[in-house]
Amino acid sequence: MRRICTFIMILCSSYLFLQAQDHLRFASAFTDNLVLQQKSRVKIWGYAPPRSTLQVLASWSRKEKTVKADTCGKWMIELSTPAGSYQTYNLSIANTEQTVVLKNICIGEVWFCSGQSNMEMIMRNDPQWRLYVDNANEEIAVADYPGIRFMTVQRNESFTALDEVLTEGWQVCSPQTVGGLSAVGYYFAHKLLSSLDVPVGLVVDAYGGSPIQSWIPYAETLKPLYKAEHETLQEAVEKGKEKPEYNMLSSLYNAMVHPLIDYKIRGWLWYQGEANVGDAGRYIAMMKDLVSSWRKKWKAKLPFYYVQIAPFQYPGYQKEKWAELAEVQSMALQTISSSGMVVTADLGDSTNIHPGKKKPVGERLALIALSDTYHQKIKSQSPSLKRLTLEQGKLRAEFDFAYHGLRLEGVHHEFEISSDGMTYYKAIVEIKGSCVWLSSPEVPSPRYVRYGWRDACVSTLYNSENLPLGPFKASVDI
């Protein structure tokens, strides 16, 4: 396996070397219309004839800099960026024979959007695959926002870490282009744009159906936790496959993430987990590996904001496993620092794993970013259980982040209680401020409670900020 991987790396290096000798260019992540992170030291890189000396000029500084390509023809330079604004700039790289200019550059806030199909799902409806974003046509018609820019990374896999991503480059948000933009990303960017009043750039880097294992760097998986994935990967190599499948260990990190780890960003948005339903026991550990490894690669403790997967009636081995995965996603908040989670238990579609309610998902992500990253005074958290007690034959559930109180929308609710933790009964619910009182004539001595503990649940309990309660289980110690 090691010899095969080495051979592949040599071929890739040779290709880049030959390509670099042909012409001067920026790396594929740098095109017209791009957004650079404001008030930062940003890295810009590309390719040129080996050992050639190059002149770099950014119009926001008007001070020319010099950089030299290495023996393989790769060059990289670090530039300082000003505060974000709607002013546009140019950036040029030149040698004695050629000048390449990037135009219409914005300086603002850059976010990296990754995960599987619910992050990848674009604004434009696709009836063939039952992909429908609510009110998509109306939203697309008015999406004339030159302050929103996006680059979508095309699907790709690799056994080894690549130097370049496949992409058609950066695009300016308009009714003509927004149809191809991640819906969650669009709504996130739109809310940020209106709140921060600076350009927002999105790097959309998602792959439908992908498990979390495929996004983790190989070096982070050298532990027993990933034994099965290593065996599958070894088998693929031994069969002589040219590249791994999308769901194989590290395959998407290698091809779609590694080439971008020097691109300066503000943080990550993550919407993934459906492919790992049924594997909740390992998911929290893998999630920690993903975040810690990405922070090592970017050399920064960037915020990681993610979406708890929405309810859906799963078939086969995944049946009745949704709540377990959703619960460990919630638990990850306690172990992953600088993280935040959007609850979507009120936004699911029991018959479609790709629910159309993408606007509240993107906007809830933006609320967390505005609160935790940009330090605006915004209430951004969903309710979470703080304390469970038994009082006068009833369970009293007290919640954090109720803010000005909890409310039940309609008469339907997802609370169930039990005396033995096995047989549950629908609870009678009384809401008082930040507390919910639970009882049932079938359960004279309640000890256990669960909420939303079924695939097709519909959360109807909200705090004062219209943010829903997500699934959980708890018990009283007696």
- What DSSP string describes 376-405? -----PPPEEEEEEEETTEEEEEEET-TT-
pTM to 2 decimals?
Answer: 0.95
pLDDT at 14 over 90: no
Give 225-258 pLDDT, tens digit per residue.
999 999 999 999 999 999 999 999 999 999 999 9
pLDDT in tens, 75-114: 999 999 999 999 999 999 999 999 999 999 999 999 999 9
What do you get for the CA distance between the two ends of the chain, in Å? 56
C-alpha distance from residue 75 to each of 52, 71, 262 (Å): 9, 10, 13
Mean pLDDT throughout 201-205?
99
Arithmetic mean of pLDDT, 282-287: 98
In this structure, the number of other CB atoms found within 10 A of the CB of residue 390 comes to 14
**Average per-residue pLDDT for the chain:** 95
Res. 13: pLDDT tops 70: no
Closest to 336 (Cα-Cα) out of 412, 408, 285: 285
pLDDT band at residue 216 under the 50/70/90 scheme: very high
Q: What angle do CA 208, 163, 28 make, to 5 degrees?
A: 75
Contacts (Cβ under 8 Å, ≥6 apart) of 353: 117, 118, 274, 312
Give residue-wise pLDDT tens across range 311-355. 999 999 999 999 999 999 999 999 999 999 999 999 999 999 999
Interval 169-195: pLDDT, tens: 999 999 999 999 999 999 999 999 999
Q: Are 362 and 188 in contact (CB under 8 A)?
A: yes
DSSP β-bridge partners for residue 89: 105
More confident residue, 7 or 391: 391
> Looking at the predicted structure, is the pLDDT value of residue 407 above 80?
yes
pLDDT attached to residue 326? 98
Under the banding of pLDDT at 50, 70 and 90, the label for residue 420 is: very high
**What stretch of H or E contains 140?**
helix 136-141
Encode pLDDT of 438-478 as tens digits: 999 999 999 999 999 999 999 999 999 999 999 999 999 86
Q: What letter represents residue 209's amino acid?
A: G
Whole-number pLDDT of residue 5 = 44
d(CA 248, CA 242): 13
What is the reported pLDDT for 318?
A: 98
What are the residues whose beta carbons fall under 8 Å from the beta carbon of 57, sequence distance 6 or more?
63, 64, 65, 91, 92, 94
| 3-state class percentages of the chain: helix first, strand second, coil last, to nearest 5 | 30, 30, 40
pLDDT band at 295 (very low <50, low <70, confident <90, very high): very high
The predicted structure's pLDDT at residue 27? 98
The confidence band for 156, taking pLDDT boundaries of 50, 70 and 90, is very high
Angle, CA 362 vertex, CA 360 and CA 368 arms, to 5°: 100
* Nearest-angstrom CA–CA distance, 379 and 401: 8
